[in-house]
Structure 1
Amino acid sequence: MRTQGKVCHLALLLLPFTPLGTNARGLDSVMHKLLHAEGYSATATYAVTLPQADDDIVYTIRLQQPSPSSYLIDWDVTTPSGPQQGFTSYFDGHFYNFRNKRLQEHHEDWDSIPLKGPRAIQHTVQFASLLPHEIGRTLESMAADTLHYSIRSTGHDDVTEVKVTRMAAGNMTDAEMTYVFDNATGMPREFSAEYNPGAISEQLVHAVYNTQLEPMLPTPLCEENLRARYPDAFENCRQSNFAIENMPGKPLPSFSLPLTFSDSGDRLSYTAGTQAESPTVIVLLDAESALTPRLVEHIRSAAERTAVAPSVIYAFVGRDIDFCRTALGGALMDGEKAVHGARSLATDCGAASLPAVMTCDSSGIVKFVTVGLNKHIDTDVIRMITLTSN
């Protein structure tokens, strides 16, 4: 699988070039079609290549986008622990996300904050970036940010190829992406990306859009039809507007994330329900937030003042390693670990806002949670660690 994915990716480079003026017009046409796509249904194969992994992780994904503001994403994957399935849907201010045997919901009339803005949960949830409208939004945003993105499009007889380079701090390339679009429909045919290219921690993704399929649900999308398609999720796994404040008493979700201070691509992995170090402090945070350095100081101060030394895991939702390392003062203290790219973990925990701090016991059960940064954070974390270790 690994070799096949790389061959497909390299094959994109062999297409003939056409003049730049035609390319610009072709890209504008494709973006217009992406942003206004309606009645779209397709399947996709999404392969992820991780460093030091023997095989790719391959997802089979089904996409339905009735309108630019509604969609259903259905996926399945085979893992060493068995098959996994999930779905995500958004329509009319209602968001549903099912994974790890938990159905999370957000409804605009209950709490609109997670559903507002360009980084709203319906735009950033896993696999939403494969939808035509989301691709159009992403390309628009990249084209407007010339400081961090370089875009080059190439027109061919039947496809338009778009290459994007993303620059990190220090003018270093931290991602290279390639999109291939059908000229007639404007819809995506293929997507590939290299994150941290050339580094030991390099990660590859490769998506191939396959044949069109019949819509999974009648339109317009509604909860009644979702319940009919996914009865077990709604009957047995539903947690309305699940929030991180509701995590105490529940197992810490599974995760496998790259270690921020590893130069060899090592990852920190945990399987829900297995034994954990006790007490463990999980800090969900954004490296680019102005609050983060202060929060780290408070966490370290609290850890030093407890009778039982905790294990601390800083889980950054972003992927910029330089930002993450800088937020921690360039080094880890004893008992600390740091991972990045942890947005999926934050989502699984119901963290609609950051920062958030959790403590877990030896069974991997979350005991206490605090959200935000306040003047009592040292005292709060000391109390959480002390009660968790008892």
Structure 2
Amino acid sequence: MNGKLKMFLAILSVYPLGIQAQGIDDVISSLKTTGHFDATVDYSVLMSLQDDVDYTLHLQSWEAPGDTLSPCDYLIDWKVATPSGDATGFSAYYDGHAYNFRGDRLLEYHFDRDSTLFKTRGTGAASLPGVQRRAQFSELLPQFIAEQLAEIKDNPDYTCTVHPDTVINGKKCIAVDGVMDMSGQILKEFLYVFDASGKMPLMVNLENNPGALAEQSINATYTYKPATSGSTESISEEKLLTLYPEIFDRYRESNFAIEKLPGQRLPGFALPTTTGERYSRMLGDRFRATTIIALLDPKAAFSEATVGAVRDAVDKLPFNSDVIWAFTGNNVDEIEHIIPSIRVGEHLLMSAKPLARDCGATSFPTLIICRPDGTVSDVILGYNNDLSSVVIQKAASSVK
């Protein structure tokens, strides 16, 4: 436990405790119903084996009633000092649209084009939230803190104490502190401090793996500007384009170029096979038969299911068709775990990011249906339970 957390816990210990359940329920309720939230946060990560890292964050969130994907809309803007100057980035989410800019790369995800990216994968401790729920620093937003406190309250691995009448730096506060203990080992110590009146967060302090060699301390301190009469409307793509015009101009990939591909000639490419050979074709080259190019990420969900659906469709087509499996990764073991062996009429390629980029594909799986003359007939974005039927329908349309 670092010195700062010890100091705050010492302050808390001199104040009486309230009714624990009622106290934490009140805080959760206030956080969940936050309207427009706007705060600057000084965020520090202290690690025993690495240099400390200090971020300056600007956090905003808005109510999102009826949105089942996220407890709020949000915009997170961050800055961190590096030896070569300040590095900056942002994350945003609203109404099924997520954006992330970091390291000169702008990624965007749209639920109506690929809903799988927004769904939680796996279960229990191994689960991976959707892209909208794992944006860096989103856990500092009040609506997300409400979810964390609800987990702390209901999970028996956590023990916590609510201090409803605490004074820190002369300010009346509510504090929640405790530990996460699994099988007698403390994995985390935490302290959340909230303003007593509005119950907005003032400080978050986390100790991960306390006492271990890989101990990590996270300190977040919130600062609020006086209330203004400025706009409290939620974020939108139009606002993002206004806030970050250079980023979108320089780094936005042709996200929807894939949708304009039908009727165009498939771009040429030369990619390695998993057996060390090379498959090449030039722009305008013909195919032997109707061909399905399957762009896949070996680490993404539904890659195996996509392979099964496409093969099922090919087996049911009333004419011959070929398949090019083009994986964006270059780990042969990962790829061959998904496709241990190829069938007649199939090709297994890897390192296909250039092909995906040239086609405008930014999410996976993406299927491109090509006529024998080398032109694109149709595209299919993402995976769904009816993928086999969709492939049959679109492949059949390509020969009409």
Give the TM-score category using the shorter length. Answer: 0.5 to 0.7
Q: Letter of the aligned partner of 1:65 in structure 2?
A: S
Alignment partner of 1:87 out of 86, 90, 100? 90
The 1-side partners of 2:300 and 2:227 are apart by 34
Identify if the C-alpha distance between structure 1 residues 165 and 201 changes in structure 2 by more than 3 Å, giving closer, same or farther: same
Identify if the C-alpha distance between structure 1 residues 116 and 80 changes in structure 2 by more than 3 Å, giving closer, same or farther: same
Q: Residues 298 and 335 of structure 2 are in contact (CA less than 8 Å); yes or no, is this contact kept in structure 1?
A: no
Alignment partner of 2:106 out of 103, 107, 110? 103
Alignment partner of 2:158 out of 129, 135, 149? 149
SS at 2:161 equivalent: strand
Q: Residues 153 and 163 of structure 1 are in contact (CA less than 8 Å); yes or no, is this contact kept in structure 2?
A: yes
The 2-side partners of 1:7 and 1:171 are apart by 23
Identify if the C-alpha distance between structure 1 residues 64 and 197 changes in structure 2 by more than 3 Å, giving closer, same or farther: same
The 2-side partners of 1:350 and 1:74 are apart by 31
Corresponding position of 2:339: 376
Q: Letter of the aligned partner of 2:4 in structure 1?
A: C
Corresponding position of 2:268: none
The 2-side partners of 1:103 and 1:15 are apart by 44
The 1-side partners of 2:246 and 2:196 are apart by 41
Q: Residues 18 and 163 of structure 2 are in contact (CA less than 8 Å); yes or no, is this contact kept in structure 1?
A: no
The 2-side partners of 1:378 and 1:208 are apart by 54
Q: Residues 91 and 222 of structure 1 are in contact (CA less than 8 Å); yes or no, is this contact kept in structure 2?
A: yes
The 1-side partners of 2:236 and 2:42 are apart by 26
* Structure 2 residue 144 is matched with structure 1 residue 134: yes
The 2-side partners of 1:58 and 1:138 are apart by 23
Task: After TM superposition, give the deviation of residue 14 of structure 1 in Å.
Answer: 2.6
Q: Residues 31 and 186 of structure 1 are in contact (CA less than 8 Å); yes or no, is this contact kept in structure 2?
A: no
Q: Letter of the aligned partner of 2:139 in structure 1?
A: S
- Report the number of matched residues: 267
List per-residue Cα deviations over 1:8-43 (Å, max 9, x = no partner).
333311324444444432221111011111111010
The 2-side partners of 1:71 and 1:375 are apart by 36
The 1-side partners of 2:141 and 2:53 are apart by 20
* Structure 2 residue 42 is matched with structure 1 residue 45: yes
* Structure 2 residue 53 is matched with structure 1 residue 57: yes
* Structure 2 residue 134 is matched with structure 1 residue 172: no
TM-score (norm 2): 0.58
Corresponding position of 2:390: none
Q: Letter of the aligned partner of 1:191 in structure 2?
A: V
Alignment partner of 1:206 out of 219, 233, 242? 219
* Structure 2 residue 247 is matched with structure 1 residue 233: yes
Identify if the C-alpha distance between structure 1 residues 165 and 241 changes in structure 2 by more than 3 Å, giving closer, same or farther: farther
The 1-side partners of 2:299 and 2:92 are apart by 19
Q: Residues 152 and 163 of structure 1 are in contact (CA less than 8 Å); yes or no, is this contact kept in structure 2?
A: yes
Task: After TM superposition, give the deviation of residue 152 of structure 1 in Å.
Answer: 2.0
The 2-side partners of 1:139 and 1:375 are apart by 39
Q: Residues 96 and 111 of structure 2 are in contact (CA less than 8 Å); yes or no, is this contact kept in structure 1?
A: yes
Q: Residues 354 and 372 of structure 1 are in contact (CA less than 8 Å); yes or no, is this contact kept in structure 2?
A: no
Alignment partner of 1:119 out of 120, 129, 135? 129
Which deviates further from its counterpart, 24-33 or 40-49?
A: 24-33
* Structure 2 residue 21 is matched with structure 1 residue 24: yes
Alignment partner of 1:35 out of 32, 36, 41? 32
Task: After TM superposition, give the deviation of residue 185 of structure 1 in Å.
Answer: 0.8
List per-residue Cα deviations over 1:232-266 (Å, max 9, x = no partner).
21111123669xxxxxxxxxxxxxxxxxxxxxxxx
List per-residue Cα deviations over 1:329-388 (Å, max 9, x = no partner).
xxxxxxxxxxxxxxxxxxxx99654999xxxxxxxxx86368788453599xx9869xxx
Which deviates further from its counterpart, 156-165 or 180-189?
A: 156-165
TM-score (norm 1): 0.60
The 2-side partners of 1:28 and 1:6 are apart by 28
> Aligned residues: percent identity?
32
* Structure 2 residue 176 is matched with structure 1 residue 162: yes
Identify if the C-alpha distance between structure 1 residues 97 and 48 changes in structure 2 by more than 3 Å, giving closer, same or farther: same
Of the two, which has the highest radius of gyration? 2
Identify if the C-alpha distance between structure 1 residues 82 and 36 changes in structure 2 by more than 3 Å, giving closer, same or farther: same
The 1-side partners of 2:148 and 2:87 are apart by 28
Q: Residues 303 and 338 of structure 2 are in contact (CA less than 8 Å); yes or no, is this contact kept in structure 1?
A: no
Q: Residues 59 and 76 of structure 1 are in contact (CA less than 8 Å); yes or no, is this contact kept in structure 2?
A: yes
Q: Letter of the aligned partner of 2:134 in structure 1?
A: T
Corresponding position of 1:267: none
* Structure 2 residue 183 is matched with structure 1 residue 187: no
Q: Letter of the aligned partner of 2:222 in structure 1?
A: Y
The 1-side partners of 2:299 and 2:198 are apart by 38
Identify if the C-alpha distance between structure 1 residues 222 and 41 changes in structure 2 by more than 3 Å, giving closer, same or farther: same
Output the aligned Cα RMSD. Answer: 3.7
List per-residue Cα deviations over 1:45-90 (Å, max 9, x = no partner).
0000122335x21000001112252111100000223210000111
